[in-house]
Chain A
Amino acid sequence: MKKIYVKENRCLGCRLCEWECMFANSGLDAMFKLKGKQGEILPRIRVEDNPEDIHFAVNCRHCKQAICVKSCIAGALSKTDEGMVVINKDKCVGCFTCVLVCPYGAIMPAAGGKAAQKCMLCTDNDRGEPNCVKYCPNGAIVFEEREI
């Protein structure tokens, strides 16, 4: 399956990916309309910075043996036949056991705190391809099939 991978040595920590993620999942037709909506939409990708000027983005790794799927108390998390980990927000009760078990910090409470959210590779919006990858200004996030 094509997955998102990050190139730490290319990441600038600009956080455009976080904003492009929010935009892609906002349903808005123009990015500037995110103005004033801070907190109403949260990114499903997060950028880490460390003091040694290392930056990288993290989002769902779509683990083969996804511990979040196995730990979900509601069956809201599942794997598609292709191997993508998806969340059904109608089933999620916001217990955040997934947050407790994800070794990557790649699943997080959605805005409002009533359910979890995670990257679904922009298959759940109208983008068709991961928006963070498309708009990373430095090619630090890639979407590709890797034989590993």
Chain B
Amino acid sequence: MNMYIPPEYEVVRDNSRCIECRVCERQCANEVHKYDGDLKAMISDSTKCVNCHRCVCLCPTHALKIVKSEDTYRQNANWGAQTMNEVYRQANSGGVLLSSMGNPNDYPVYFNKILVNASQVTNPSIDPLREPMETQVFLGKKEVEIKRDISGRIVDTLSPQLSLKMPVMFSAMSYGSISYNAHEALARAAEELGIYYNTGEGGLHKDFYKYGKNTIVQVASGRFGVHAQYLEAAAAIEIKMGQGAKPGIGGHLPGMKISDDVSRTRMIPKGVDAISPAPHHDIYSIEDLRQLIYTLKEATDYKKPIIVKVAAVHNVAAIASGIARSGADIIAIDGFRGGSGATPTRIRDNVGIPIELALAQVDERLRQEGIRENVSIVVAGSIHSSADVVKAIALGADACYIGTAALLALGCHLCRSCHTGKCNWGIATQRPDLVKRLNPDIGYKRLVNLLTAWNHEIQEMMGGMGINSIEALRSNRLMLRGVGLNETELRILGIHHAGESM
């Protein structure tokens, strides 16, 4: 027998405002709303509601709201309602709990405990509206030594670089986990912004080859959709070793999301679950990784930077040190808050470490070992705002990946039900009627708006510090101070506490 689990949220309809236009009914893929002919009124079934706010946003008379249910179990500081419900659900189903998006639990957000410096009197700040303010960055291995030929001319030994107009990119989200329209929006925004988006491990849809110069293609453990043209189309290739939302485990795209197009793009059968193994079965060491890196470089004539993406785990600094010596051009580190289209809840909520700490340690370790310039560092896993970008760069990153923030710009309301495939916002779904809801013409513009705004803010903050280029901010930890952090946290972050001078 299935235990009844009361809904966490309730749909509340103000019937004095409801005009029975039935927009809510038509727009809810979860079939929460329905017009009742007998009552001549709209009725709602809160047990089906995932709290995605689609109906709330589209209700033309604002007659709807969704509130936290007051129905609670007996108060218990130890056994919370969610914890109890999860037990009930597992007792009902016998299955592994699935979740989506990033870890929502109450762990510290270190970015929120770090404050940024500004110039006063003795070191003038810079007005970005009047002075040049460089937010362009280049990702890739930098040459420390300058080589000259016999006639004294500089020999160009620079490895291939990615050039970003601002230090932000869209992180890997596969076609399959998100929709065609979401991909189109990301690709077009990347093109317009002069940055990059990332295919994830779902291959590259034939329609999007034209955005190749702004595309990073991924080679993951499932090797879905990887072929010569795919590698050739891209600006860079990312080897995905791990993902912040699910370090140590593979991926699982349910068969129902493998539509015709997804199947063609991934080069796998339609309707069959797509399993990405936990490890790459050919990589058990840095040496193995190096082989794959050079295989890919060889395949693309050494013209494209290779990124190695890992989840932030306890030994991330040592792992990064290995990667920096493996021939990779860029290391991407995904923190424990990183998102996912479907992940076992226990993994998402209990595995990995915060990106701020991982980043600080990786940057520090590579510097100590004198190999920091071997690689660029890109960080991911809940970059919430331009301020987080500034702080990440000051902690040692070259650029950031954003995933969730981009999806929010496209309409995502973080209902965290991606794994159901019924995304009412047309993002994490392959149902054509739902995909349609994300108009890429609107979506791409919103992404461009978001990052244009961020870039302005980054320039403002840099100017305030008297810094006029991203280069000068990178690893400039003197610009950061911690608040409410203990000695250990400050030491790991490599920053002083607020109030401490240099």
Contacts and interface: CB of A to CB of B under 8 A. Distances in A.
Contacts of A9: 436
Contact of A16 (B17, B58, B63, B433): B58
B272 interface: no
Interface in A36-66: 38, 53
A103 interface: no
Contact of B60 (A13, A20, A138): A20
B437 A32 contact: no
A9 B16 CA distance: 34
A67 interface: no
A118 B391 CA distance: 57
A126 B19 CA distance: 22
B17 A10 contact: no
Contact of A135 (B16, B17, B27, B60): B60
A140 interface: yes
Contacts of A14: 23, 26-27, 58
A31 B19 contact: yes
Given A12-B26, A31-B60, A32-B63, A138 B436 contact: yes
B439 A140 contact: yes
Contact of A53 (B58, B63, B433, B439): B433
Interface centre among A14, A19, A140 (most CB of B within 10 A): A14
Contact of A139 (B17, B19, B20, B439): B439
B437 A19 contact: no
B271 interface: no
B21 A15 contact: yes
A134 to B, nearest CB: 12
B442 interface: yes
A10 B432 CA distance: 11
A10 B60 CA distance: 19
Given A15-B23, A16-B23, A16-B60, A35 B16 contact: yes
Interface in B394-444: 432-433, 436-437, 439, 441-442
Contacts of B16: 32, 35
A121 to B, nearest CB: 20
25 contacts: A9-B436, A10-B436, A12-B433, A14-B23, A14-B27, A15-B21, A15-B23, A16-B23, A16-B60, A19-B21, A19-B23, A19-B60, A31-B19, A31-B60, A32-B61, A34-B19, A34-B61, A35-B17, A35-B20, A38-B20, A53-B432, A137-B57, A138-B436, A138-B437, A138-B442
The 3 A-B residue pairs whose C-beta atoms are closest, nearest first, are: A32-B61, A32-B17, A19-B21
Interface of B: 16-23, 26-27, 57-58, 60-61, 63, 432-433, 436-437, 439, 441-442
